[in-house]
């Protein structure tokens, strides 16, 4: 469903991604892990076509977003995406309700009633009802993340990109997020990319775990194989040890 | 030549090439920025003329740029007119021509001060706000979020602000001019003892349609500059609070300078056209 092929990305002299290839099959959820600053969020933005790689290509479905020549072409690909940004990126001039309804309002073919019903439904499901008239700056970071998630889910997109869906959430709500991902998966079978630092909790929603290090994919394996990998980098990362081949920058 | 001297020369030489490099980079940056701003303008105009049209967003912006600036524009208009009357009467009294105070006030306001001062005020008040708002949307990834939802930020964010600027600035200019004339009239007839009849008759006699057109054309051009610069500076804002800070300052300075420079050329061209 998503093919990332030999992608290189740099900012000035700083090489962030140095030949990354990942194949994400339809209906699967791939979790991307790796130390801070390794380029996980950058990779997600490359998939959305918000950043452009210097080299390599990214296909979403059968459409090549890196080869799209204009924004209109990229937008037709983005119709299939639902994105949760690491910072939630809620629109601060809109209320929680308006933020969640926004993606539907921007698409043709939805009546006002339908938009209202869907928004209400997801707000109730995610226990956001008490906040629906609040503005983003009035609610906590953890809540903003959940609103961002609701906004990503409301269009029932084919592909969901979650950047750290439960960073900033308490363990109970964090578990709820995993349950929600599971539920949605049963409902409409999306293909997912989840960036997370929550190891090993995130494995419960992962089919494949990919670890980035030094701009490259160092392992792409099922959660079990990942856990049992003999690679010292993987073991160091899993167990949060300071000493090992990964140097904290 | 001693080794020392050679060393110093080499160092100077290096610093000379470095200087050229700095100047070169600066010029290249400037040209690049200039080019980008034109592409930005092109894309904004595309966003304005292609559907879907979003009248509601334009109305929101009209409120923020126009309605919220009305009070300050009105206040400045009245006092500018009043000052013009006092200054005009003083200058004209040297020629025994105080009867023309009304014409002087009206012509200065309509042709020059109305459009320019309104534009400068709107740039300071609403332009800085637009740049800061768009800049914060940029650094908090809200613009990326729009794009990820297949919403074109040019159409959704830029076009409404641009159109609202084009509509609001001429309207505010009209308010400024009318209240300026009112202020001049009150001070002229009330405090300076000019005859109300002369003030009005001379004014009506001196001001032609061409003067009004020329003020109107200026205000449209200034509205255009206002929207272009404040949107562009916000959209291309750098990182963090520092980036927003810099973008806002640059936006106000660039737009104000651009308005004043454009004003000179517009005045020259329009005056020549009127003469012919
Ligand atoms: N727009 C940008 N301009 C310049 N550099 C950038 C930009 N976006 C990201 N970077 C750089 O790219 C590198 C990777 O950033 P990224 O946000 O992808 O890290 P990450 O893996 O998501 O880290 P974290 O786990 O902390 O979120 C960082 O060093 C960052 O400074
Ligand atoms: Mg990140």
Structural domain tally of chain B? 2
The residue to mutate among A10, A14, A35, A42, having the most atoms of ligand 1 within 8 angstroms of its beta carbon, is A42
What six digits make up the tokens of A215? 């701009």
What tens digit of pLDDT does each residue of B38-64 get?
Answer: 999 999 999 899 887 889 999 999 999
Residue B113 sits in the same domain as residue B146:
yes
Residue B107 sits in the same domain as residue B192:
yes
Residue B29 sits in the same domain as residue B91:
no
Question: Could you write out the DSSP letters of every residue in A142-154?
Answer: HHHHHHHHHHHHT
pLDDT reading at B159 higher than 60: yes
pLDDT reading at A148 higher than 60: yes
> What H or E segment, with its residue span, contains residue B258?
helix B240-275
Predicted-complex ipTM score: 0.90
Q: Chain A 54-113, CB below 8 Å of chain B: which residues? A: 71, 75-76, 78-79, 81, 83, 85, 87, 89-92, 102-103, 106
Residue B15 sits in the same domain as residue B120:
no
pLDDT value of residue B52: 78
Average of pLDDT values for A23-41? 91
What tens digit of pLDDT does each residue of A218-245 get?
Answer: 999 999 999 999 998 888 888 888 887 8
Residue B156 sits in the same domain as residue B260:
yes
Contact assessment for residue A48 and residue A161, using Cβ atoms and an 8 Å cutoff? yes
A171 lines ligand 1 (CB under 6 A): no
Burial class (CB in 10 A: 0-12, 13-18, 19+), A168: middle
Residue B65 sits in the same domain as residue B38:
no
pLDDT value of residue A143: 87
pLDDT reading at A248 higher than 80: no
pLDDT reading at B272 higher than 80: yes
What tens digit of pLDDT does each residue of A92-120 get?
Answer: 999 999 999 999 998 878 889 999 999 99
The residue to mutate among A17, A36, A39, having the most atoms of ligand 1 within 8 angstroms of its beta carbon, is A39
Instruction: Give dist(CA B191, CA B205) in Å, integer.
Output: 23
Residue B14 sits in the same domain as residue B110:
no
Residue B152 sits in the same domain as residue B238:
yes
For residue B53, give the DSSP letter.
P
What tens digit of pLDDT does each residue of A35-58 get?
Answer: 988 999 999 999 999 999 999 999
Residue B144 sits in the same domain as residue B225:
yes
pLDDT value of residue B13: 60
pLDDT band at B8 (very low <50, low <70, confident <90, very high): low
How are beta strands A208-213 and A29-33 bridged, if at all? Answer: parallel
Topology of domain A1-80+159-249 in CATH is: Rossmann fold (3.40.50)
* Structural domain that includes position B192: 55-275
The segment(s) of chain A belonging to CATH 3.40.50.300 are 1-80+159-249
Closest CA to ligand 1's atom 28 = A37
- Whole-number percent of chain A with pLDDT over 70: 99
Contact assessment for residue A164 and residue A86, using Cβ atoms and an 8 Å cutoff? yes
Over the Cα atoms of chain A, what is R_g? 18
pLDDT value of residue B9: 60
pLDDT value of residue B50: 85
What six digits make up the tokens of A7? 């992608």
């Amino acid at each position: 469903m998503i093919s990332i092929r030999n992608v290189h990305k740099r900012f000035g002299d700083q090489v962030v991604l140095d030949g990354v290839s990942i194949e994400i099959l339809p209906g699967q959820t791939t979790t991307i892990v790796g130390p801070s600053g390794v380029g996980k969020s950058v990779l997600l933005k490359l998939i959305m076509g918000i950043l452009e790689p210097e080299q390599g290509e990214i296909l979403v479905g059968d459409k090549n977003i890196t080869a799209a020549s204009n924004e209109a072409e990229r937008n037709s690909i983005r119709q299939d995406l639902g994105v949760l940004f690491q910072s939630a990126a809620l629109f601060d001039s809109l209320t929680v309700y308006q933020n969640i309804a926004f993606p539907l309002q921007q698409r043709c073919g939805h009546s006002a009633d339908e938009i209202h019903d869907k928004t209400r439904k997801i707000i109730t499901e995610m226990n956001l009802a008490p906040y629906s008239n609040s503005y983003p700056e009035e609610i906590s970071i953890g809540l903003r993340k959940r609103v961002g998630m609701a906004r990503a889910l409301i269009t029932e997109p084919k592909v969901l990109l979650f950047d750290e869906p439960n960073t900033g959430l308490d363990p109970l709500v964090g578990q709820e997020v995993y349950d929600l991902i599971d539920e949605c998966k049963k409902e409409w079978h999306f293909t997912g990319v989840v960036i997370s630092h929550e190891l090993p909790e995130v494995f419960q929603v992962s089919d494949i775990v990919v670890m980035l290090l030094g701009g490259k994919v160092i392992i792409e394996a099922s959660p079990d194989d990942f856990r049992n990998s003999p690679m010292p980098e993987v073991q160091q990362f899993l167990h949060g040890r300071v000493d090992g081949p990964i140097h904290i920058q | 030549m001693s080794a020392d001297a050679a060393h110093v020369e080499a160092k100077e030489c290096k610093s000379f090439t470095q200087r050229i490099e700095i100047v070169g980079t600066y010029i290249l940056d400037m040209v690049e920025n200039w080019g980008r701003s034109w592409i930005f303008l092109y894309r904004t105009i595309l966003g304005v003329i292609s559907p879907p049209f979003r009248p509601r967003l334009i109305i929101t912006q009209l409120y923020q740029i126009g309605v919220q600036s009305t009070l300050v524009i009105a206040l400045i208009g009245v006092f500018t007119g009043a000052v013009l009357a006092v200054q005009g009467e003083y200058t004209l009294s040297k020629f025994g021509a105080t009867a023309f105070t009304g014409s002087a006030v009206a012509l200065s306001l309509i042709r020059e001060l109305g459009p320019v001062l309104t534009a400068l005020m709107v740039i300071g008040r609403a332009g800085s706000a637009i740049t800061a708002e768009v800049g914060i949307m940029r650094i908090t990834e809200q613009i990326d979020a729009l794009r990820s939802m297949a919403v074109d930020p040019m159409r959704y964010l830029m076009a409404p602000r641009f159109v609202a600027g084009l509509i609001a600035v001429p309207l505010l200019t009209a308010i400024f001019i009318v209240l300026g004339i009112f202020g001049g009239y009150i001070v002229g007839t009330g405090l300076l003892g000019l005859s109300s009849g002369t003030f009005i008759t001379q004014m009506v006699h001196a001001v032609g349609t061409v003067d009004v057109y020329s003020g109107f054309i200026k205000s449209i051009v200034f509205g255009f500059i206002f929207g272009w610069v404040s949107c562009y500076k916000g959209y291309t804002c750098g990182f963090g609070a520092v980036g927003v800070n810099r973008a806002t300052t640059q936006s106000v300075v660039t737009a104000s300078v651009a308005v004043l420079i454009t004003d000179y050329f517009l005045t020259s061209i329009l005056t020549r056209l009127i003469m012919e």
